[in-house]
Structure 1
Amino acid sequence: MQSDKTLKRHAALVDRMAGTLGLDLEESALRGELRVDEIGDAVLACTGCESPGACEHWLDAHSDGSDQPPDYCRNAGLFARLMVR
């Protein structure tokens, strides 16, 4: 079981990554493009990442946006699917 601190950190990373890619996960869920449990699954997948610090640096360096996540992103497939829509 992940600690609350870990879950909050990775939830923030998932949300920041989505925003950097021009995605709004809540809006995607409201439109039926994403199930709410998929957001939770994305956070849990993110907790398995060995590079959260690198991800934070990548997000800081791409504050103006990006058209793709870094190669090591465990949610790259989910984000790619949402970006196609």
Structure 2
Amino acid sequence: MIGRETLKKHARLVDLMASKLGIDLEERALRGDINFDEISDAVLACTGCSHPCTCERWLDAMPVPQNDTPEYCRNRPLFKGLKNA
């Protein structure tokens, strides 16, 4: 079972990644571009990533906005779809 702190950490990573890409997840959810279940699924996918520390360093180092996620991002297709919507 995934602990609460792990979920919070990965929810933060998903939100930061979206922000780095110029995507406001809350706004996009309100517009109907993504639903809250999809955001929850993105967080769960992130918890399965083997690179969370690398991701944190990438997020800290990269300027805003970025065009794409790192290759290893498990939510790359989701973010790419939102960027192109």
TM over 0.5: yes
Aligned length: 85
The letter for the 2-side match of 1:60 is: D
Map of 1:31 onto structure 2: 31
Cα distance in 1 for residues equivalent to 2:16 and 2:63: 9
Cα distance in 2 for residues equivalent to 1:48 and 1:54: 14
> How far does residue 63 in structure 1 lie from its aligned partner after superposition?
3.4
Q: What RMSD in Å do the two structures reach over aligned CA positions?
A: 0.7
Map of 1:47 onto structure 2: 47
Map of 2:10 onto structure 1: 10
The letter for the 2-side match of 1:41 is: D
Cα distance in 2 for residues equivalent to 1:63 and 1:12: 17
Q: Does 1:79 align with 2:48?
A: no
TM-score normalized by the length of structure 1: 0.97
> How far does residue 13 in structure 1 lie from its aligned partner after superposition?
0.1
> How far does residue 40 in structure 1 lie from its aligned partner after superposition?
0.2
Cα distance in 2 for residues equivalent to 1:18 and 1:40: 14
- Aligned structure 1 segments of 4 or more residues deviating by more than 2 angstroms: none
TM-score normalized by the length of structure 2: 0.97
How many percent identity over aligned positions? 56
Cα distance in 2 for residues equivalent to 1:65 and 1:83: 11
Which whole-Å deviations, capped at 9, do the CAs of 1:15-53 have from their partners, x for residues lacking one? Answer: 000000000111111001001100000000000000100
Gaps of 5+ in 2: none
The letter for the 2-side match of 1:18 is: A
Gaps of 5+ in 1: none
